[in-house]
Structure 1
Amino acid sequence: MNVNIDPSQKSDSEVQSWLEKLGPGLITGAADDDPSGIATYSQAGAQFGFNMLWTVIITYPLMVAIQVISARVGRVSGHGLATNIRRHYPPWLLYSAVLLLLAANTINIAADLTAMGAAVNLIVGGPTRVYTVGLGLLSVFLQVFVPYRSYVKVLKWLTLVLFAYVATVFVVRIPWHTVLATIVFPHISWTNDYITTVVAVLGTTISPYLFFWQASQEVEEMRAETGQRALKYAPDHGASTLRRIRLDTSIGMGFSNIVAFFIILTTAATLHSHGVTDIQTSSQAAQALKPVAGEFAFLLFSLGIVGTGLLALPVLAGSAAYAMAGTFNWRNSLALKPQLAKRFYGIIVVSTLIGLVISFTPIDPVKALYWSAVINGVVSVPIMVLIMFMAMNSEVMGKFVLSMRLRVAGWAATCAMAAAAIAMFWLMLAS
Structure 2
Amino acid sequence: MTSLLRRVRSIALFEQLGPGLVTGAADDDPSGIATYSQTGARFGYGLLWTLLLTYPLMSAIQLVSGEIGRVTGKGLARNMGEVIPSGAVTGLVVLLFAANTVNIGADLAAMGAAARLLAGGGAHLFTIGFAVVSLLLQMFVPYKRYVRFLKWLTLVLFAYVAVVLVVKLDWGQVARGLFLPDLKLLGSKEAITTIVAVFGTTISPYLFFWQTAQEVEEVDHDDQARPLTEAPEQAKREMRRIRMDTFVGMAVSNLIALAIMIATAATLHAAGKTEIATAADAAKALEPAAGRFAFLLFTLGIVGTGLLSIPVLAGSAAYAVGESRGWTCGLDNKPWEAVGFYAVIGAATLLGVGLDLMKIDPIQALFLSAVINGVIAVPMMVVMMLVASRRDQMGRFVAGPALKLFGWLATAVMAIAAAAMFVAMA
Quickly name the TM-score band, shorter chain normalised. over 0.9
Give the alignment's TM-score, normalised by structure 1: 0.93
Uncovered stretches (5+) of structure 2, i.e. residues with no partner: none
**Secondary structure in 2 matching 1:271:** helix
Number of the residue aligned with 1:162: 157
Are the structure 2 counterparts of residues 350 and 51 from structure 1 closer, same or farther at C-alpha, using a change threshold of 3 Å? same
1:377 aligns with 2:392: no
Deviations 1:149-198 (Å, cap 9, x if unpaired)?
41342344344233233233344333333312332334231111111111
Number of the residue aligned with 1:249: 246
Structure 1 residue 74: Cα displacement: 0.8
**Secondary structure in 2 matching 1:51:** coil
Q: Select the residue among 291, 295, 301 that pairs with 1:304.
A: 301
Letter in 2 for 1:371: L
Number of the residue aligned with 1:95: 90
Deviations 1:353-382 (Å, cap 9, x if unpaired)?
111121111444543432332222121111
Number of the residue aligned with 1:108: 103
CA RMSD of aligned residues (A): 2.1
**Secondary structure in 2 matching 1:232:** coil
Number of the residue aligned with 2:325: 328
Number of the residue aligned with 1:428: 425
Uncovered stretches (5+) of structure 1, i.e. residues with no partner: 1-5
**Secondary structure in 2 matching 1:274:** coil
Structure 1 residue 85: Cα displacement: 1.7
Number of the residue aligned with 2:25: 30
Structure 1 residue 8: Cα displacement: 4.0
Write the distance in 1 (CA, Å) between the matches of 2:339 and 2:289.
Answer: 49
Write the distance in 1 (CA, Å) between the matches of 2:225 and 2:59.
Answer: 25
Write the distance in 1 (CA, Å) between the matches of 2:168 and 2:85.
Answer: 55
1:275 aligns with 2:277: no
Number of the residue aligned with 2:72: 77
Q: Select the residue among 337, 341, 347 that pairs with 1:350.
A: 347
Write the distance in 2 (CA, Å) between the matches of 1:22 and 1:159.
Answer: 16
Are the structure 2 counterparts of residues 127 and 337 from structure 1 closer, same or farther at C-alpha, using a change threshold of 3 Å? same
Structure 1 residue 87: Cα displacement: 3.7
Write the distance in 2 (CA, Å) between the matches of 1:418 and 1:39.
Answer: 23
Letter in 2 for 1:75: R
Does structure 2 retain, via aligned residues, the 8 Å contact 1:38–1:263?
yes
Does structure 1 retain, via aligned residues, the 8 Å contact 2:153–2:300?
no
Number of the residue aligned with 2:201: 204
Identify which range, 176-185 or 329-338, moves more after superposition.
176-185
Write the distance in 1 (CA, Å) between the matches of 2:386 and 2:422.
Answer: 26
1:218 aligns with 2:205: no
Deviations 1:5-50 (Å, cap 9, x if unpaired)?
x344665797352212211101111111111111111111111001
Does structure 1 retain, via aligned residues, the 8 Å contact 2:166–2:289?
no
Write the distance in 1 (CA, Å) between the matches of 2:37 and 2:391.
Answer: 43
Write the distance in 1 (CA, Å) between the matches of 2:410 and 2:271.
Answer: 35
**Secondary structure in 1 matching 2:44:** helix
Letter in 1 for 2:232: P
Q: Select the residue among 281, 284, 287 that pairs with 1:284.
A: 281
Number of the residue aligned with 2:117: 122
Deviations 1:268-296 (Å, cap 9, x if unpaired)?
11111111111145553115765998423
Are the structure 2 counterparts of residues 283 and 399 from structure 1 closer, same or farther at C-alpha, using a change threshold of 3 Å? farther
Deviations 1:374-421 (Å, cap 9, x if unpaired)?
222121111101000000111211111111111111111111111212
Letter in 1 for 2:75: G
Identify which range, 402-411 or 185-194, moves more after superposition.
185-194
Number of the residue aligned with 2:335: 338
Are the structure 2 counterparts of residues 148 and 307 from structure 1 closer, same or farther at C-alpha, using a change threshold of 3 Å? closer
1:399 aligns with 2:385: no
Q: Report percent identity of matched pairs.
A: 53
Structure 1 residue 54: Cα displacement: 0.9
Does structure 1 retain, via aligned residues, the 8 Å contact 2:83–2:383?
no
Does structure 2 retain, via aligned residues, the 8 Å contact 1:143–1:334?
yes
Number of the residue aligned with 2:259: 262
**Secondary structure in 2 matching 1:275:** coil
Number of the residue aligned with 1:3: none
**Secondary structure in 1 matching 2:228:** coil
Number of the residue aligned with 2:61: 66
Count matched residues: 424
Does structure 2 retain, via aligned residues, the 8 Å contact 1:42–1:282?
no
Does structure 2 retain, via aligned residues, the 8 Å contact 1:65–1:409?
yes
Letter in 2 for 1:393: R
Write the distance in 1 (CA, Å) between the matches of 2:326 and 2:361.
Answer: 35
1:314 aligns with 2:279: no
Structure 1 residue 247: Cα displacement: 0.4
Are the structure 2 counterparts of residues 115 and 93 from structure 1 closer, same or farther at C-alpha, using a change threshold of 3 Å? same
Q: Select the residue among 164, 169, 184 that pairs with 1:174.
A: 169
Give the alignment's TM-score, normalised by structure 2: 0.94
Moved over 6 A (4+): none
Q: Select the residue among 22, 37, 41 that pairs with 2:36.
A: 41
